[in-house]
Structure 1
Amino acid sequence: MTERSGWLDRLEAAGNRFPDPATLFLAGTGALMLISQLAVWLGWQVERLVQRDGQPVVETITPVSLLDSDGIWWLLSTLVDNFVGFPPLGLVLVGLLGIGVAERSGLLPVVLRRLLEASPAKLLVPATVLVGVLSSLALDAGYVVLPPLAAALFLAAGRSPLAGIAAVTAGVTCGFSANLFITGLDPLLAGLSTAGAALMDPGYRVAISANWLFMAVSTLVLTAVGTAVTLWLVEPRLARPRPGFESLPAAAEHGAEDRGLRFAGLTLLALGMVVLLAVLVPGAPLAGLGEHFPRWMEALVPLLLVVFLSLGLAYGMGAGTIRNDRDSVAMMGETMRTMGPYIVLAFFAAQFIACFSHSRLGEMLAIAGGGWLASLALPATGLVLAFIALVMVANLIMGSASAKYAFFAPVFVPMFMQAGISPELTQAAYRVGDSVTNGITPFNPYLVIILAFIQRYRPDAGIGTLVALMLPYTLVFAPVWALLLGVWVMAGWPLGPGGPLSYAP
């Protein structure tokens, strides 16, 4: 342990003295029920400006009690649906079925080991962080697929698997909005920014590429920063794995490995051609738009199941680690057995998050915070920095990026336009603040997945372990990314194609 990481050790120890995370979510649900009733008794209400039929309308929002007769009935009647509909639950279980076969057949250990042998060790951390940042191309699939792969890769390199989980999770969470490419988040936020700008200027349109250049540069900066945090703050306080700690299957005989890899390579080629045709051919299953995004993006987790399962089966049959269907089913069953603690945790987390949403306390707190910030009458630069800080705090109580911006955009976009700040800059500032606290907010439902992966290597890990791993990234990413935006604005560079910094009526 290094002296500079002692405070993280104390934080981890203090956090792990708390009850089990499932118990914390249960207690939080009870507290929410009391607070919602208190808010109703006090008559708390907030107002926000919305558009209806093209006209601005003031909407009054009031809290919903979870402790009165209707509230208790709602909780009882939706208890099962809250759990079954908990977004990370299906993603994790479905995604890990395929990953489990690919891992236990020996495919992933062999691929990771050979990649490690062919790659310079000094590139392991930056590559891990970069892949985490880029994973937003795949929506939320990065939470499911990348942590176990990063852990296995670090383990094969003789380094702590928790360092691998932390590095890739930092990219997935704290670097969520950054990317080298346009992602599904860009049109979603641009649409909300356009709706907010319409309250001030009905003809204003925000391009989906408005933040692309800034986010592409942010990707490179955050990769470098995430690498430094991992190497200097996170990894030094993690013990290296003990000999024999690795739980992955032993390598097959080298000739069998090569045969399995050939089988897997041919399978990947065939699957790639099938998926490409399914995406590009008009009328094919994956062609066109789904409910919110292109179909192939909305079906990404099922596609990952098919790909990993097929590759695992192909490798296993070629290498001799899978002899019949019973072997593959047993591998999937073993994977599900390791996820038992996560399923219990997900049940209580689902109830807590559903209650918070139903009570409307989250959106009311976000709107009230926005009104308070507006009342400060800060200069333009101060407004942007204060907005980033406000979003960081709001993200601790309301995790959804799109839902939170749906509340913020109608307030801050027109308000900042009056101060000469473009909707595109407001949107970029929002993306910075919304990302950097993703790794530590209890309202990020996917963090229970990360905790479950950590507990595979450290069974006694709790909330303190997770926070101690991720907090250094938040503390460093926040000022660096905000400073990058400040330098960008001072230099007068456009945020992207169609992304001006200022607004003039």
Structure 2
Amino acid sequence: MGRKEKKSLMDRFLNTVEVLGNKLPDPIVIFIALMGIILVGSFVASLFNLRATNPATGEEVEAVNLLTGEGIVQILTESINNFSNFPPLGMVLVVMIGIGIAERTGYFETAMKRVIEVSPKKLIIPAIILVGIIGNVAGDAAPVVLPPIAAMVFIKLGYHPFAGLIMAYAAAVGAFSANFLIGMTDALALSFTEPAAQLVNSDYTGNIAMNYYFIAVSAVILLVVTYFIATKVTIPRLGTYDSSQLADKDEQLEEREVKALRWANISMLITSAVFLLMVIPENGILRNQETGSIMNDSPFMNSIVFIITILFFVPGLVYGLKAKTIKNTKDFGNVLSESMASMGSYIVLVFFAAQMLAYFKWSNLGPIIAIKGADLMQAMNFTGIPLIIGALVLAGCINLLIGSASAKWAILAPVFVPMFMLLGYDPAFTQMLFRIGDSFTNPITPMLPYLPLLLAFAKKYDKNVGLGTLIANMLPYSIAFFISWLVLVILWLFLGLPLGPGGEVFYQQ
């Protein structure tokens, strides 16, 4: 017994990470501190006449002191504009209208349950994994709803419920940057990538789909990898489970929910067909009227955010009306208000992140750090595969301490996007590297709010279970995801394939 109770080196390490991570201040406070650091840094940098030459333009970039009278006036007068003119803010909030109504009415949750209910036995495990991977487009729904459902399904299959909990959770949060659909994660990533890239090239514009090809291929690969780890590692390791003491019964979908889901899916197909009729014909109104292109500077790509919003909004509304989760206009207004209310912390975060990015831009510290960093990396010959591995490991390690993806990318993007651009890599590629690094350690980070919830689910089956048990069984998924993604990125790099529409591996001005 004594040997079992003794904590392993891994458990002690993760417990230390958890303690240290809990001592970090709120991300908003971190941004406020960074604003102060940048202001002081601008003073020190200008004092020492810090400057660098932009290799892309040949222009000399000089540090600007923001703690002068002129700088302070600029900080005070431009603060509102920094926030209101932050272009991706509106994009994210608009997408949230569609995703919010689909989530709040119960459409996402019912769709997940139904997929698992109707899947043949041999395909149930792959179906759960697929729902978990696709489910990240539904915001909080997948890591909250799917694990307990998977646990019940695994009991029926004769497996330990922990195996289902862990597998579903790993698929939902570990494969966070893999999907067949474009959603909120794409919008959030772009919201910080674009202004960071504009520190080097003020004319740079990205798009929400610029990582799509890569994340779609990643979804297929991680589905296979997750299935392999589940069937060859997790399920055999955890063994069977005595379910005779469980009093709870499976929660079956009501007929009303099934009918509502059917009508919602039909409405999505009809809505998709309408948009396809505007895109596919050669004279389609959503094509570029001069070139006929669907992707390059077309109304389709320029309106893709609103189109995605509509594709979620319509089935979400239809489901709500049919399932009676929306009974009147008041309910409709409440659903939309609640979905926006959930973005409150993001809006506050963006306010301070926008100020920080503005200070970085005004002081020229961002470009100078990027140029100096790029020069150092080139001098050390730290490019290619070592650079990729370093970026993935760094993002993965930071993810163990800071849970919010937007908070991390807001901090890292102003430095890494310009730096990688100067090394010849497109912002879409740098963004993709961060998204991978931000995903593969998600299953084992104590900083995600879903992990305590997962522990609560686990205690239903074993009151003595601890966090170490869950993390130890999720560690193989994190390792496998890292290796798989690293191989895929290297392959993509060598082949020079586009990451998505308008998203390349190598940067061309």
Name the TM tier (shorter chain): 0.5 to 0.7
Q: Secondary structure at the match of 2:286?
A: coil
Alignment pair present for 1:65 and 2:47: no
Q: Does 37-46 or 432-441 show the bigger shift?
A: 432-441
Quick one: distance in 1 between partners of 2:214 and 2:331?
49
With over 3 angstroms needed to count, the CA separation of the structure-2 counterparts of 1:222 and 1:48, relative to structure 1, is farther
With over 3 angstroms needed to count, the CA separation of the structure-2 counterparts of 1:345 and 1:373, relative to structure 1, is closer
* TM superposition shift of 1:112: 1.4
* TM superposition shift of 1:325: 1.8
Residue 146 of structure 2 corresponds to 153
Residue 15 of structure 1 corresponds to 21
With over 3 angstroms needed to count, the CA separation of the structure-2 counterparts of 1:374 and 1:277, relative to structure 1, is same
Quick one: distance in 2 between partners of 1:18 and 1:89?
26
Q: Secondary structure at the match of 1:61?
A: strand
With over 3 angstroms needed to count, the CA separation of the structure-2 counterparts of 1:496 and 1:363, relative to structure 1, is same
Quick one: distance in 1 between partners of 2:328 and 2:428?
52
Residue 300 of structure 1 corresponds to 304
Residue 351 of structure 1 corresponds to 355
| Correspondence list, 1:38-49, <5 A | 38-49=44-55
With over 3 angstroms needed to count, the CA separation of the structure-2 counterparts of 1:94 and 1:252, relative to structure 1, is farther
| Correspondence list, 1:157-236, <5 A | 157-158=150-151, 167-173=171-177, 221=221
| Correspondence list, 1:92-171, <5 A | 92-119=92-119, 120-123=123-126, 126-127=129-130, 131=134, 145-158=138-151, 167-171=171-175
| Aligned amino acid, residue 259 of structure 2 | R
Quick one: distance in 1 between partners of 2:440 and 2:76?
29
Pick one of 308, 312, 316 that aligns with 1:312: 316
| Correspondence list, 1:81-92, <5 A | 81-86=81-86, 89-92=89-92
Pick one of 366, 372, 375 that aligns with 1:371: 375
Contact 1:287 1:296 in 2 (8 A): yes
With over 3 angstroms needed to count, the CA separation of the structure-2 counterparts of 1:292 and 1:356, relative to structure 1, is farther
Pick one of 32, 39, 55 that aligns with 1:26: 32
Q: Secondary structure at the match of 2:58?
A: strand
* TM superposition shift of 1:434: 5.1
* TM superposition shift of 1:219: 6.1
Tell me the matched-pair count: 412
Contact 2:107 2:319 in 1 (8 A): yes
Alignment pair present for 1:36 and 2:29: no
Residue 199 of structure 1 corresponds to none
Quick one: distance in 1 between partners of 2:314 and 2:145?
20
Quick one: distance in 1 between partners of 2:140 and 2:227?
16
Q: TM-score, with normalisation over the residues of structure 2? A: 0.62
Quick one: distance in 2 between partners of 1:486 and 1:147?
31
Quick one: distance in 2 between partners of 1:324 and 1:307?
22
Quick one: distance in 2 between partners of 1:44 and 1:394?
27
Residue 79 of structure 2 corresponds to 79
Quick one: distance in 2 between partners of 1:429 and 1:367?
18
| Correspondence list, 1:326-337, <5 A | 326-337=330-341
Deviation track 1:21-78 (CA, whole Å, cap 9, x = no partner) reads 211211121111111221111111111322xxxxxx5221122333223332232223
Residue 208 of structure 2 corresponds to none
Q: Secondary structure at the match of 1:323?
A: coil
CA RMSD of aligned residues (A): 5.5
Q: TM-score, with normalisation over the residues of structure 1? A: 0.62
Q: Secondary structure at the match of 1:19?
A: coil
Alignment pair present for 1:340 and 2:333: no
Contact 1:387 1:429 in 2 (8 A): no
Contact 2:143 2:168 in 1 (8 A): yes
Residue 322 of structure 1 corresponds to 326
Deviation track 1:419-458 (CA, whole Å, cap 9, x = no partner) reads xxxxxxx9999687555434599xxxxxxxxx89859969
| Aligned amino acid, residue 333 of structure 2 | V
Contact 1:105 1:322 in 2 (8 A): yes
* TM superposition shift of 1:473: 8.3
Contact 1:48 1:59 in 2 (8 A): yes
Quick one: distance in 1 between partners of 2:298 and 2:110?
33
With over 3 angstroms needed to count, the CA separation of the structure-2 counterparts of 1:66 and 1:280, relative to structure 1, is farther
| Aligned amino acid, residue 31 of structure 2 | F
| Aligned amino acid, residue 366 of structure 1 | A
| Aligned amino acid, residue 148 of structure 1 | A
Quick one: distance in 1 between partners of 2:276 and 2:228?
38
Q: Secondary structure at the match of 1:437?
A: helix
Quick one: distance in 1 between partners of 2:373 and 2:492?
26
Contact 1:373 1:386 in 2 (8 A): no
Contact 2:167 2:226 in 1 (8 A): no
Deviation track 1:142-168 (CA, whole Å, cap 9, x = no partner) reads 7x6455345333344358999867644
